[in-house]
Amino acid sequence: MAIFCFLVDQRKQVQGRKPAAGLCSRCGGGAVVADMKTSTRFCGVPFYRKAWKAIVCPLCGAVLKSLVTLLSSTLAHEEGSSSSSPLKNAVFAMVKTALHTINLELHSGSHPRLGVVHHICFHPLSQTSSIDQVSAVATSLAMDIGSILRVPKYLYGAAQEEQCTLDSIRRKLGYFKTNREGHEWAGGLELEVVPMKPDAGPLEVSKAKRVVAVGACGWVSNYNVPVMSTDLKPVRRMARKVSERGGVLASVQTMALVHGAGVIEVACNLLNPSHVGGDDVQGLIEGLGREEDPIPEAQQQKLLLSNNRFKN
């Protein structure tokens, strides 16, 4: 079996309108709920994220009818049929609904985003499935989203011929650059035309939908460490030093994000969690925190440490 997730993160009320996405207890990962002030994952199966409110939404209920087969199917049973895979069809239905329901121009938040559907990642989870199988499904899905839904689509990981990484695509598209004062992102990428040819879909970018990335790779874990500080610069330095790009921990990607009043989160992707885990990240950040000393004495130089693990 493979799993997929796509992110609609930290939506806030914009121009007096309520957000178009929120959490739903039925799908376990989120759906359209009009009265929610924030939202996280649109949906992920079988990975579930705890819901905040016991709300069953009509949108999610309609889509879930096509997801039932996911829980009893493996890609081993679908070899050679990626174009008609129940997994692919279910994800496509969810993407289509999200793109038709959510206008990204009406949203802002403290987490960057590529588009309404942030990214979709396929993983082989059983001994009977392989990275080649999930890559075939990812590629087929990307082609359909690009050609049918008309959204620029980029492949990454094993689904892309040159094994292009997700973070390299993000950097080329300007994903990490805030477009609003106060370390926030309003809407999506500030692009009318993508700077590099997508693997599928048009060059033109819809402001309401933006861009989508689809990939296939081994299992990725997330380990996020909130630091009690209001000074983003030293925490960014800490995040950089922890990462592979900073020359310290191999297969670790990091980013510092404002995470509420007085808290900045060092968000980490652990690309090889069996070799470099959360304990490695946490220990290093604790040491760097003492060196950087970004926390005022009034707060007793205390780190808020978290072992939150969830798929991003």
Q: Report the relative pairing of strands 212-216 and 153-157 from DSSP bridges.
A: parallel
Q: In the block, which residue shows the tokens 């493979």?
A: 2
- 189 phi, psi to nearest 5 deg: -60, 140
Res 310: pLDDT: 40
Residue 138 has pLDDT above 90, yes or no: yes
Q: Tell me how far CA of residue 79 lies from CA of 47, 75, 123, 216, 249, in angstroms.
A: 23, 6, 15, 16, 36
Higher pLDDT, 43 or 209: 209
Res 83: pLDDT: 61
Residue 140 has pLDDT above 80, yes or no: yes
Mean pLDDT of the chain: 70
**pLDDT 10s digits, 152-176:** 999 999 999 888 888 888 888 887 7
Res 148: pLDDT: 94
Res 135: pLDDT: 92
Task: Please check whether residue 31 is in contact with residue 21, taking contact to mean a CB–CB distance below 8 angstroms.
Answer: yes
Q: In the block, which residue shows the tokens 């477009």?
A: 179
Report the C-alpha gap between 48 and 130 in whole angstroms: 23
How far, in whole angstroms, is CA 251 from its chain's centroid?
A: 17
Extended beta strands in the chain, E state: 4-7, 41-45, 108-109, 119-122, 153-157, 185-186, 212-216, 221-228, 252-258, 263-270
Higher pLDDT, 198 or 298: 198
Res 106: pLDDT: 84
Residue 18 has pLDDT above 80, yes or no: no
**pLDDT 10s digits, 200-251:** 988 898 888 889 999 999 888 889 899 888 888 899 999 999 999 888 889 9
The mean pLDDT value for 183-188 works out to 65
162: three-class secondary structure by DSSP:
coil
State the pLDDT confidence band at 180, using cuts at 50, 70 and 90: low
Res 38: pLDDT: 32
Catalytic residue among 111, 118, 119, 123: 111
The candidate with the shortest Cα–Cα distance to 55, out of 83, 36, 71, 69, is 36
Res 304: pLDDT: 45
Res 25: pLDDT: 39
The candidate with the shortest Cα–Cα distance to 47, out of 113, 8, 1, is 1
**pLDDT 10s digits, 73-114:** 444 444 545 666 788 888 999 999 989 888 888 877 777 888
Res 107: pLDDT: 78
Active-site residue flag, 77: no
Q: Answer whether the bond into residue 195 is a cis peptide, omega within 30°.
A: no
Return the H-helix or E-strand segment holding 168: helix 166-172
